[in-house]
Structure 1
Amino acid sequence: MSQVMPAAAGQFGAQEKTGALLVFGSAFFWSFGGAIARFLAMDDSWAVIFWRCLFAAVFLLFFMLFRDGLRGTLTLFRNMGWPGAVVASSFTIATTCFIVAIQYTTVANVVLIQAGVPLFAALLSRIVYKERISALTWAAIAAVIAGVAIMMSKSFDGSISPKGDALALAIALVFAATTVLTRRYPDVRMTPAACTGGFIASIIASTQAVSLAVSPEQFAILYGFGVFNLGLGMALFVTGARLVPSALAALLGTAETMLSPVWVAIFNGEVPDIRAIIGGTLILAALLSYLGAEYLRQQRMLKGH
């Protein structure tokens, strides 16, 4: 991936618009993940993980070969270093947990809990690197924790398994740790890391699956699940995120959180209950307030330069 060079004001505006469209596109494709998963009539989660991650990893590999050529792709993998290996491991954990989580809880719970990633990342930065947290961020973190608690309270009355919400929270914490790491090591390339993570996840899943055989219909769904939902979404994100301020990229990424429950309700008839709506509203309000303030801060810094 070539380094994005500083541009003139007009050029930056064009780049920012392109980046914003690409990042929104990634969120749009990612938002179909839960709805697609509900169409899979497969009892073996490991088989789903194998095919989805394999298709995504192969797609990302060909994406890099097309964009950077063979030599450039090999250079990207060589330069990942240990931060890239950690990101790859995080991708493996997150993609695996997502498939298992939605078997135990609603898609809305999973994606809304994951929406708290930027705020969990801010909290981890405070704990690990002693970074200062503003009063607004502390308030947003408190609201997200309250929202997650409300959503997870449904687990205690036996209506859904607490495993699903716990796995969703684990995904959010893993992504938060990855966010903190990539901030500290901005040269980490997400594409080769995600590609590596996909191959690792598929290898692990192949050793755990009862059988990898699937019907032609299920194979087609798995292909779309891996290539268009996971692979294409990642390719659009890593291309667009380098062209816009990080807060704007995160803000646009909330489209996934808002659209996912909509698709599942339309295509699968899975409507969130009142606790998920209340908790999710708290999380989204906190996230949008935090990201909006952060975006304005970054814009002021850009104008100052």
Structure 2
Amino acid sequence: MSRRLLGVIAAAVFGAASVTGSVASAAPAPAPAPVKAIDFTGIVALNNCSGSLVRTPTAADSDPALVLTNGHCYEGGEPGAGQVITNRSSSRTFSLLDPSGSRSLGTLRATTLLYATMTDTDVALYKLSSTYADIKQRYNNTPALQLSLDHPTAGASLRVVSGYWKRIYSCRLDGFAYRVREAAWTWKDSLRYTSECNVIGGTSGSPVIDAATGKVVGANNTINESGGRCTLNNPCEVDESGRVTVRANIGYAQQTYILASCIAPGSVLDLNRAGCTVPRRTS
């Protein structure tokens, strides 16, 4: 409800009270619950990247847990342009960090690479051998981060949390790049950071968390390191007319709501679910 409308309602209530002397003031709306400060809760470190323990809003505690990272962090090597990998056996391990990021609570192990691609987006999602309930019981009641099902909003305050470097970057969502091109790969509707998120190698796969909601809205994946034009480690932006823009030292992330919508009960990948718009399987 807008402030203007609230003011109209308050004025009407006040006017009625002054005439009758018996109308009570409207009760104030309850304030939204504050979001816990962003730390390393739910963050994992990979051998070459960062990642996070995640769940969808409707996941059950009895479901196998999921880990999110980048497609280019896949242990089998970077997927080629146009390649999509689904439901592939994996025994990859992840180190689950404590809230301070100073130590590992234990090792999580995958059973399946549910999804990985570098086409249109740059994401990988692993299914673990442990359930969310198992992880809470074994590791100090550690919860998973919740995946947002909504497109984020420009200007949002962001936190990029790297499990590899044990570092948290703070910046804002500067806007959206129609296309980001890096070497052979092209990504759609990418999140563009303000300059404060000067991410480095090893931060790939870090969850991008909306500080206002505590939800994951993206997976950090690249930065233009030296002002190069559309080359490896020097992504460029391409607009609807094909015009290329280079933003030196600006980083990008890929939105995750398009993948979150693909997860069915039981941590099952279902590419036919409503809202699931990631590229389909080719291998």
Higher normalized strand content (fraction of residues): 2
**What is the TM-score normalised by the length of structure 2?**
0.25
Higher normalized helix content (fraction of residues): 1
Query: Greater RCO between the two (CA within 8 Å, min separation 6)?
Result: 1
Tell which structure's C-alpha radius of gyration is larger.
2
**What is the TM-score normalised by the length of structure 1?**
0.24
